[in-house]
Structure 1
Amino acid sequence: MTEQELIQDFNKNRLHVILAQLAPTALLAFAAFATPEIATYSNYLKAAFALILLASGILGALAEYSAASQAQAAIDDLRVLPGKSALRSRIISFRPWLDVIKFVTPTIFIAIFATILLGLYY
């Protein structure tokens, strides 16, 4: 692939990361506000609510992980091409931050999910 194609691929995957965060973030924000009310519901409805959050979180994390991994692959390919443009150097320097998306973001989701579960049942 050419430098331009790799940069376009990186940008496409960066956009996918952003879009993959929107639905789970909105759902967690809704859950934070709805949890006090839902905590008064039956255990079956609370479990259904928790499972919806869990499924959304898992799917969102997988989408983010996949897009971040593909962006890292584009950076790895970009790194071995000849030439040194400023844009290319900036993109290459961003590679370690994609690990935040792959590992830190799901960890934060788990912490929020656990906190919501505590709010539902205690």
Structure 2
Amino acid sequence: MDEAEIDDHARQLVTAFALPSKVGRLNSLRSTDEKRAKFRTGLGLMPFRSDRTTRLSHADSSPSAVLTRLRDLGAGERCVVFEEGREWAGTLDDAVAAVVGQGDGAVISCLPGRLGYAESESGERLVLSLDE
């Protein structure tokens, strides 16, 4: 995936799942590398709409359970990860292994504007979905 595709994932993720009061600000933080760092920090604060998220219980939040749930909801093999220090594209398996249970704020965008996963530094874990 190139930078334009990663930016598309970011824009659609924010538009679909962020609180309406945060959408403009978060989308404006994609214009420079410095602002992108603020964007990733902003996502780590979990600014997501409660009507489009499902909080995972401890029992449902192991890496294998998260991977199964995302696949059951239609996630493909490629995704984009937004972490505090970087953003990257990779396989869903690698993304889940890198994010779930690591104690860092991160978001996985599986299907742009349709499906994702978010985890806060405090361990809160959410499935972001328009279809669930």
Shared fold (TM-score, shorter chain, > 0.5): no
TM range, smaller chain = under 0.3
Structure number with higher strand proportion: 2
Please tell me whether Structure 1 or Structure 2 has the larger radius of gyration of its CA atoms.
1
Q: Under a length normalisation based on structure 2, what TM-score does the superposition of the two structures give?
A: 0.25
Higher RCO by CA contacts (8 Å cutoff, separation 6 or greater): 1
Compute the TM-score of the two structures, normalised by the length of structure 1: 0.27
Larger helix share, 1 or 2:
1
